[in-house]
Structure 1
Amino acid sequence: MSRVLRGLGALLVLLLLLVGVPAMLLAVGARWPTTWSRQVLLRPDDGTVLLALVTAAAWLAWAVLALSVLAELVTAATRARIRVRLPGLAGPQRAVAGLVLAVLALGAAPAVHLGLPPAVAEARASPPPAPPAAERTAVPSAARAPTRPVDPSAVVHEVQAGDDLWTLAERYYGRGPDWRRIAAANPDRLTGGPDRLEVGWRLQVPGIRPSTSADGAAERVPADAATVTVRPGDSLSTIAERQLGDDARWPELFDANRAVLDDPDVLETGQRLHLPAEAVPRPERAGAEPAPDQAGAPDRAVEPGSTRPAPPAGDGAWSGRTAPPAPDRTAPERAAPPTSAPVPVEPSASAENVVALAAVGGLLAAGLLAGLAVRRRLQLAARPVGRRIVHPGPATIPLETALGRRQRPLTLRTLDRALRAVAVSCRDQRLPLPALQLVLLAEDRVELRLAVPHEVAPVGFVVEEGGLCWVLDQSGADHLTALPADEPLRPWPTLVTLGRDAQERLVLADLEALRLLQLGGEPQVGRSLLAALAVELSFSPWADEMRLTLLGHDTRLPDALGVHAVAQTDDADALLDRLEGRAAEQRRHQPHPVLGQHRLDPDLAEPWTPEVVLVEHPLTPLQRARLRALVEEAPYVTTAVVVLGDVDAPWRLTARAADDGTPATRLEPAGLDLTAQTLTPAETAGVLELVAATGRTDTTTAPWWHVEVAEPEPPPDNVSYLGRRFGGWSAERTGEVDEVVAIRAAVALAADARVDHPTLLVLGPVELLGAAGTPPPRAAKQCLEYCGWLLEHPRRTARDMASALAVAEGTRRSNMSRLRTWLGADAAGEAYLPDAYTGRIALHPAVSSDWQQVQILTAGGVNRAGDEALRAVLQLLRGAPLADVAPGQWHWAEELRTDLISCLRDVGVELAGRALAAGDLALARWAAARALVAAPGDELLLAARIRTEHRAGNTAETERLTLQLAAQARRLGVDLDPATVTLLQEVVEGRVRARLA
């Protein structure tokens, strides 16, 4: 009743202020003089001017009030997605925010009348029970406010600028009217009323426990919630049918996951959703056929409602740290098994890859993708004109897409800079390097766990637990910007991910500090863990500063990498002989207690390069004894060994398969329960195929280049259909393409002229021109990606599309609907994206792209196209291909992107060469410079620029380009082409150096 009275009172006040005040001013306010003249200002004051000024001030105050109310209404209507902050009006906005909240609260009904789960309704009706006195701890306050006991089951939210109780309730409970739960849990904080929050306050959010989403992002979820993983083809309704027994209950799923779902139609494959608190496991119908949108589900039947029980908390004895009280993660009781076994759903291989990659950490994915990008860049740099680099098979596309979704490049970069900052600080201040053992890595926090206390930390780090723990949070990370980007110091190159803990933090171990790590438990999980260790160590940012030896593994990884630092052997005795000899040499030179100290001096770093040995080979008792003596006898050496099997090691990682199939491990003596990072054999094979393809030096004939004698190899799949459809590269060389018409169309498109039909631009920032509909208010970038995929993969199925893009079926359908509306229909009423009644999705034949324009212009081959056609191709270029694509998007298009770069580079080289032969230096300069936008630093294009500037007599530019080319070759670690070396000798020294025949 009091809520209703307060709401009605607030509504009355707002009506009086917004309606009554202007009505009063119109009725009794002074009227402005019709004209302003000298007589009006100098005549005796009768109060008219003063009353007019007072009236104007009143109108101004009313306008400020009205704007403040409007801003708060926008904030409430958009659920705080749009926050309007008017300069200088923070005070009025705070004043009216309480009135607006009170009015909006009139529409809030009790939870039981909204069909909410009984458990939630009960929680909202009564405050949470107080914890026992022994479990209560004081919450540190950032502001001057009294402290109160903290409910260990509650999230503690630190107030940020712009926060209010309504938006906090929207974020945590999904409903703004539930702000009273937060207010009731913090009575001693909100002494100034529910509308006054101070930045830095720490507020309890009852009934919510901390958790983490599948991609590692922090979220808040109801306590004791079970989880389910989104599978290919899933939507909220299908999950509700499978887990809750009724597809009409999908709104409950959406309400329980508002922290991670903005749109009920947008799900990502592999994402973990939390079930409502009252969800009861329900046996699936025996013999039920899978729904069409579930065709890509995993082949192992998942028991509905099952959850992975949380591992027991660590003993807290490691490093003297007391483990915080763990949240209650007890899984609900499982329902009785069905009388008939559920029928497993047969998945495609790509769907299996996408789902299973949930065991891969963000650092491994980021390091692997960065390494693949470098290897592709080297392939493109060495590619001859008219040739095409070799790409991995189509089965790896979903795998690479899933890696792109899981990568955390910013987190990896922050960790790398943090470790280098520690090294630089110790070197500059001549301090001993801390004895790092483990790193606990969250999205916004880096925690370094040390073996012995170390009290002096670099700027930005906070020393905790008597020097056993260094913490770097987001505020401290700002100090890392002063670190030189090219600072090479990396004292812990054997740092690698073991898994993630119950708080979803990545747990990394310095293998050199652990010395000997034993992988026990289930051998299959151990082998998958070894595979993940091998891949991450090979592609980490510090991989060049260590050596990796695989004992007993197959040779596929070393062969695919083709680098000297990664090797494989089956001869354990020969390996031990070599390692013992190296260890004896290091011990004679009195190593530091912390071996990384040697690597702070660049002149001494190389002899102390660490070597990691991953042992899958069975060892004899004598070999195990030699191994322990090698790494465990003091003084310690720079050799670290990870062994699959029992070697009586001090550090042990015991593996097992959890009830839900996820790989669970326990790290002793740290007492940490982890979800292990693993690569299954199928995933490992896909990764190795990617690595091998990016290391190949052979090439194939490019479809955009004409050769007199065609090689017996088909054109790539991504252009064969386009050629037949658009008269492109695979068209017969019979003059089918009207070059004049194609040039005019390309010039018009490059000039941003009006196009008659939808045209996707990918030669620069991705845009869509000529669409008949309006752009969607959300997910427009995803719609552009879908359009690009459909152009490159016409007449494919919905399952093919969802698998390649690594999205759930519900997300795909929603975005396809948005794209269909955006594209619209042509003048005859035919949709540009017709419904796929045949099961095959295809765009209207009139929908095209600037890339297809390039194919039309070069249909006879780049080397046979006219100069105007090549010029038109380069005019279409607006930037680097796919210039504004964010990390994690368009990973399926890596082959397309490299083809774009390769073709445009060849066009630039060909046109610049023709222009130089004709003496047209301006055209040669323009062609090479334009193509360099697509292929920055390309050797052949830079050589064309050097040749052009040398002929023009531009000595300064010639010298600059020469130095740039030489420096780039050193940076990439490649040799210049002999023709380029000859050119540089000619332009720099005036002649070619003599050579004996």
Structure 2
Amino acid sequence: MNPTYAPPRPPARTTGDIARGAGALLAVVAFTVGVPVILGVVAPLRRPRISATWDSLPGALTRADDGSLLLVVITVIAWAAWATFTTSVVLELIATARRIPAPSLPMLRWAQRSAAHLVSTAGLLLSTAGPVIAATAQPIIAAPAPETGVARPSAVMGAPAAMTGSPDPMTAKPTTATATAGGMAGHAIPMTGGPAGPAATTQPVVTVTRGDTLWSLAERHLGTGHRYTEIRDLNLGRAQPDGNTLTDAHWIYPGWQLLMPPDATALPTATPGPPASRPATTHEVRPGETLWVIAATHLGDGSRYPEILEANTGITQPDGSTLTDPDLIRPGWRLTIPTATSPHAPPPVRVTAPAAVGAPPPSAEVADTPVGAGSPATSVRPDIDRGADVPYASIEPFDTAQAAVAGDDVDREDTAAVARLFLGLTGLAAVGLIGELTRRRHLQHRRRRTGQRIALPAPASPADHAERTLRQASTPLTIPQLKQALQNLASRSYTAERDLPRITTLLLSQHTLELHLADADHHPIPPFEATSPTTWAAPTTALVQDEPAERDPACPEPYPALVTIGHTDDATVIVNLEAAGTLTITGDPTAAHDTLRAIVTELATSDLTGRIGLITGPSYANLAAAIDPTRLQCADVATLPTQHDARRPAIASVLEGVGADDTLQARSDRTGDDTWLPVIYVHDHPADDWAPPAPWSGSILLTTGSLESAPWTIDVPSHASARLEPADLAFVPQRLTESHLADLVDLLSTAATPDADAGTGQPVPTGTDEPTAALHALPPPAHVDHRNQAGTPETFALRINLLGPIEIAGLPPSPRPLGRRSTELLVYLALRGKATGPELDEVLWRGRRVDNQTRNSLLYRTRQRVGAHNLPPVDPDGHYRLGPDVTSDWEDFQHLARAAYRSEEQRIVHLQGALELVRDRPLAGLSGDDYTWADHDIQEIASAVVDAAHILATELLTTNDTGGALSAATSGLLAEPCSELLYDDAIRAARVRGDTDRAHRLEAHLRTTLENLDPDYVA
């Protein structure tokens, strides 16, 4: 039977609340009652005294109006406006009473918003606070208290329910989590700071688990999803275990503890847990102390510092930060010191959320079935025995939310990530270059032959180091998201019959995108809001969630010449070169040329500026040789003024013909199409007769020379912050040295699309059949194959799935999810077989220098979570390896592929088994700065999967199994969507089976894919 709870006491209403509520109530009454009374007096609706006929209609339309028609129109509009608003108020009242979202009326969103605001504000006057009901001690399920054992009042205090809310509560990527109750069974937890009296009851609490949303929690515990607003209002702004809080965006994360209304049902059942510990003590960090010293003082052994680390990881400290690095603790922090278990303490309660009625079993339960036992895939894997008796306890997909819940050891450097340079480039510039590299590698796969491997930089080479450094970059908005936000701004401006905002600079911080305008504009386009006469701002979360504007294929690229120039303390600085017209970079000559070199490289590689013309002098010839000619051209600098002089009157003539003042206005009016895409000239020392291009003139000049008539300048000292004028903005400039540019040119050249006859990667000898070529191309096993060894039933055998999103199966049961860096450690060892300590430091900490204590702490926590048999201690030779029973789907794939290529009789069966393991692109779903070391592995796996899919499709076509061939090709395209070889196999299979429609769709999809990747592609 579920325990009962007293309702929480809402906070007392203030005088301001009452005043606002009274004002809103008066406004509702005035609009709904007063307006029709006034209209009935001054503008009543009357029936016409003369009935109209068809014969009288021409005369009525042609005779002069005496003003009566205008009065009739005004009267109809006034009554219609009243009816619209009144209808919205009635709907909002009904929806509020029923606790459901109000239905959306087409074209009446403005009226519904106003009505919702007034009704919800009036609710402040009508809401009442219920009395506090005292209760005797009852069995409760309370929110877990902090490790210090002190219950926070905020954990049990509620808030009055709001009367409106979004109908679409969302959840972040979930994970499995359990929690312990905050108090002992049979005892209520008193609220600190309250008056003395009977023990106060606490509200029910649920722990967010995999797949939960506010709506689903309301359905499960309150009987209807429409009551999600009550859960939201109880928890808005309430601190959660990971340090975050619930906001109006409605994102909830696994592991969060959410207060529930008192009438919540189907609450987690309490099951006996392990013996309770004595109340933990708290230690305040003093200057000079380390975790080792604290452990030696309180626990008697300094080597037990990981216990203190684990007990405090992720807990918010008084200064607002959290413990993530065992080598970094600050004076004033309050750390929980774990104590030994007391045999006399009453047992605590462990809370486990029940599964929803009728819901399918979670993936963790699916993994309980031993692989190969009764599985349909068993028939195609006859030689694989993973140990049917080995229990697979859980499957944990890797995601960021999981790491946050676990109090993971990943450094949280959100602001620092924005304010960092990578090889001297900003994060956006680095991400743009990696995007270009990814595009080229897809094109390499397009023409790759069976048994080949695409060309990649040599391991540990300068180009390889440059790529791994660039992959560390992350941005609050991806380049597609930033472009979509600006595209939405353009579409909505055009719909509202407004010119495009004259954006001069943009500041992208971790949480906000600011647009700085040339002219004052107090009427921003949503979701932007005006923060000053010349500044609009929008949260990055709002821009990510903003739906693309209605289909608008005619919308031009609104701001095609955006480029980053550096960063402030918390934001990336982006300049609209069109607004500058001419940008002069002055200061220290070396620093100025480095900054110009960085800007040119970004313009030539980033998709943020993918449709402009860029013309430089011979100093960028090496970069131009590695870049598509449509992106960058080199010319004699002496001809640049001539080219500009020829372009300038041509653009001016077109502008005059369409009646536009400049290219931005013409782009706003959508006239001239691509005529308004700018051409950027790069000239180190322009002659005196060079006329500097004006803003939005269709031409742009970048120079390190001196031009008195150019107001836009960047002053770059040798070792100090730069300054952008006329914005008066100080920032750290991006600077790319000649040696780093050479590394990037080498990287891009390696990834250049090969000719049809060019061999890349491993050459395939002439006359070699495809199975033999594919066999020789497979990498050697990462570690010894242990498939013939039987697993021990009492241990959990770990399985690491890499042929799709990362999954770690077979984890021992634990309420603590596997941390993000721990997951990366396991994946690295699964792919590489072994690693030394310094190698782990390089890949897991992105080259940042860490000491042995930090690495050992990670290994200790990971070993505690996965079991020592799955991650043994370091070998005598100094290498870390996974345990002999650990398997991976990539390892199984290679085993089956080798068997298939060696046995013609069993080839089809083995290859079908191998391809059944493929779920998506290898290591799919990684964020930008995750697994910076893994791209070589991803390319290797993708090539091996494509080879297997092509060979299987070919074999099946010879047996006239067109359906199987089509399925094989499709499986391969999951791993590499640009393989022309697999598209040919799929199209051929579709045509042989007579499915011409599918063949045409495949051809169209291939054409679209290649057109997006290759500007020179011709079908």
TM-score, normalised via structure 2 length: 0.57
Are 2:816 and 1:816 aligned? no
Counterpart contact for 1:666–1:673, Cα < 8 Å? yes
Which residue number in structure 2 is paired with residue 597 of structure 1?
A: 665
Which residue number in structure 2 is paired with residue 71 of structure 1?
A: 143
Q: Secondary structure at the match of 1:879?
A: coil
1:527-586 deviation digits (Å, cap 9, x = unpaired): 2222321232223334232112233533232222223221234x2211111111111222
- Classify 1:98/1:535 alpha carbon distance in 2 versus 1 (closer, same or farther; 3 Å): farther
Q: Secondary structure at the match of 1:357?
A: coil
Which residue number in structure 2 is paired with residue 109 of structure 1?
A: none
- Classify 1:903/1:454 alpha carbon distance in 2 versus 1 (closer, same or farther; 3 Å): same
Query: How far apart are the structure 2 equivalents of 1:696 and 1:237?
Result: 54
5 Å matches for 1:241-320?
Answer: 259-265=320-326
Are 2:978 and 1:934 aligned? no
Counterpart contact for 2:803–2:920, Cα < 8 Å? yes
Q: 1:902 is aligned with what amino acid?
A: S
Query: How far apart are the structure 1 equivalents of 2:916 and 2:583?
Result: 58
Which residue number in structure 2 is paired with residue 945 of structure 1?
A: 986
Which residue number in structure 1 is paired with residue 825 of structure 2?
A: 786
- Classify 1:604/1:824 alpha carbon distance in 2 versus 1 (closer, same or farther; 3 Å): same
Which residue number in structure 2 is paired with residue 444 of structure 1?
A: 511
Are 2:522 and 1:431 aligned? no
Which residue number in structure 2 is paired with residue 472 of structure 1?
A: 538
Offset of residue 759 of structure 1: 3.7
Query: How far apart are the structure 2 equivalents of 1:787 and 1:813?
Result: 15
Query: How far apart are the structure 2 equivalents of 1:806 and 1:718?
Result: 31
Query: How far apart are the structure 2 equivalents of 1:501 and 1:930?
Result: 46
5 Å matches for 1:850-929?
Answer: 850-859=889-898, 862=901, 866-929=907-970
1:508-537 deviation digits (Å, cap 9, x = unpaired): 111121122222222232222223212322
Which residue number in structure 2 is paired with residue 393 of structure 1?
A: 458
Counterpart contact for 1:631–1:640, Cα < 8 Å? yes
Counterpart contact for 1:402–1:806, Cα < 8 Å? no
Query: How far apart are the structure 2 equivalents of 1:915 and 1:755?
Result: 41
Which residue number in structure 1 is paired with residue 580 of structure 2?
A: 514
Counterpart contact for 1:253–1:275, Cα < 8 Å? no
Q: 2:748 is aligned with what amino acid?
A: V
Which residue number in structure 2 is paired with residue 31 of structure 1?
A: none
Q: 1:642 is aligned with what amino acid?
A: L
Q: 1:587 is aligned with what amino acid?
A: A
Q: 2:844 is aligned with what amino acid?
A: L
Q: Secondary structure at the match of 1:499?
A: strand
Query: How far apart are the structure 2 equivalents of 1:933 and 1:669?
Result: 50
Q: 1:514 is aligned with what amino acid?
A: A
Offset of residue 786 of structure 1: 1.5
Find the partner of 1:362 among 401, 421, 427: 427
Find the partner of 1:767 among 796, 807, 811: 807
Query: How far apart are the structure 2 equivalents of 1:527 and 1:355?
Result: 20
Counterpart contact for 2:626–2:748, Cα < 8 Å? yes
Q: Secondary structure at the match of 2:736?
A: coil
Which residue number in structure 1 is paired with residue 714 of structure 2?
A: 653
Which residue number in structure 1 is paired with residue 679 of structure 2?
A: 611
Which residue number in structure 2 is paired with residue 986 of structure 1?
A: none
Counterpart contact for 2:154–2:238, Cα < 8 Å? no
Offset of residue 398 of structure 1: 4.8
Query: How far apart are the structure 1 equivalents of 2:671 and 2:515?
Result: 27
Which residue number in structure 2 is paired with residue 694 of structure 1?
A: 751
Which residue number in structure 1 is paired with residue 687 of structure 2?
A: 624
- Classify 1:422/1:862 alpha carbon distance in 2 versus 1 (closer, same or farther; 3 Å): same
1:90-134 deviation digits (Å, cap 9, x = unpaired): 99x9xx9995343899xxxxxxxxxxxxxxxxxxxxxxxxxxxxx
Counterpart contact for 1:257–1:274, Cα < 8 Å? no
Counterpart contact for 2:444–2:754, Cα < 8 Å? yes
Q: Secondary structure at the match of 1:447?
A: strand
Which residue number in structure 1 is paired with residue 650 of structure 2?
A: 585
Counterpart contact for 2:432–2:606, Cα < 8 Å? yes
Q: 2:751 is aligned with what amino acid?
A: T
Query: How far apart are the structure 1 equivalents of 2:942 and 2:780?
Result: 20
Q: 1:426 is aligned with what amino acid?
A: S
Counterpart contact for 1:386–1:701, Cα < 8 Å? no
1:242-300 deviation digits (Å, cap 9, x = unpaired): xxxxx999999999896454423398xxxxx99999xxxxxxxxxxxxxxxxxxxxxxx
Q: Which runs of 5+ in 1 are unaligned?
A: 1-13, 18-57, 106-158, 173-194, 196-234, 239-246, 268-272, 278-353, 728-740, 982-997
Q: 1:557 is aligned with what amino acid?
A: L
- Classify 1:879/1:494 alpha carbon distance in 2 versus 1 (closer, same or farther; 3 Å): closer
Query: How far apart are the structure 1 equivalents of 2:984 and 2:834?
Result: 43
1:576-602 deviation digits (Å, cap 9, x = unpaired): 111111112222334644422333466
Q: 2:819 is aligned with what amino acid?
A: A
- Classify 1:494/1:756 alpha carbon distance in 2 versus 1 (closer, same or farther; 3 Å): same
- Classify 1:513/1:164 alpha carbon distance in 2 versus 1 (closer, same or farther; 3 Å): closer
- Classify 1:253/1:896 alpha carbon distance in 2 versus 1 (closer, same or farther; 3 Å): closer
The structure where helix makes up a greater share of residues is 1
5 Å matches for 1:402-801?
Answer: 402-408=469-475, 410=477, 412-466=479-533, 468-473=534-539, 477=543, 480-484=546-550, 487=553, 489-502=556-569, 504-551=570-617, 553-569=619-635, 571-590=636-655, 592-600=660-668, 604-615=672-683, 617=684, 619=685, 623-627=686-690, 629-632=691-694, 637-648=697-708, 649-658=710-719, 664-697=721-754, 700=759, 722=781, 758-769=798-809, 777-801=816-840
1:284-330 deviation digits (Å, cap 9, x = unpaired): xxxxxxxxxxxxxxxxxxxxxxxxxxxxxxxxxxxxxxxxxxxxxxx
- Classify 1:974/1:785 alpha carbon distance in 2 versus 1 (closer, same or farther; 3 Å): same
Query: How far apart are the structure 2 equivalents of 1:538 and 1:893?
Result: 26
Q: Which runs of 5+ in 2 are unaligned?
A: 9-130, 164-181, 197-231, 246-258, 260-289, 294-302, 334-418
Counterpart contact for 1:706–1:862, Cα < 8 Å? no
Counterpart contact for 1:911–1:927, Cα < 8 Å? yes
Q: 1:585 is aligned with what amino acid?
A: A
Query: How far apart are the structure 1 equivalents of 2:474 and 2:528?
Result: 25
Query: How far apart are the structure 2 equivalents of 1:949 and 1:551?
Result: 51
Counterpart contact for 1:912–1:923, Cα < 8 Å? yes
Offset of residue 776 of structure 1: 8.7
Which residue number in structure 1 is paired with residue 995 of structure 2?
A: 954
Q: Secondary structure at the match of 1:695?
A: coil
- Classify 1:548/1:787 alpha carbon distance in 2 versus 1 (closer, same or farther; 3 Å): same
Counterpart contact for 2:775–2:898, Cα < 8 Å? no
Counterpart contact for 2:594–2:735, Cα < 8 Å? yes
Counterpart contact for 1:526–1:655, Cα < 8 Å? yes
Query: How far apart are the structure 1 equivalents of 2:440 and 2:894?
Result: 27
Q: Secondary structure at the match of 1:439?
A: strand
Q: 1:784 is aligned with what amino acid?
A: T
Counterpart contact for 2:473–2:928, Cα < 8 Å? no
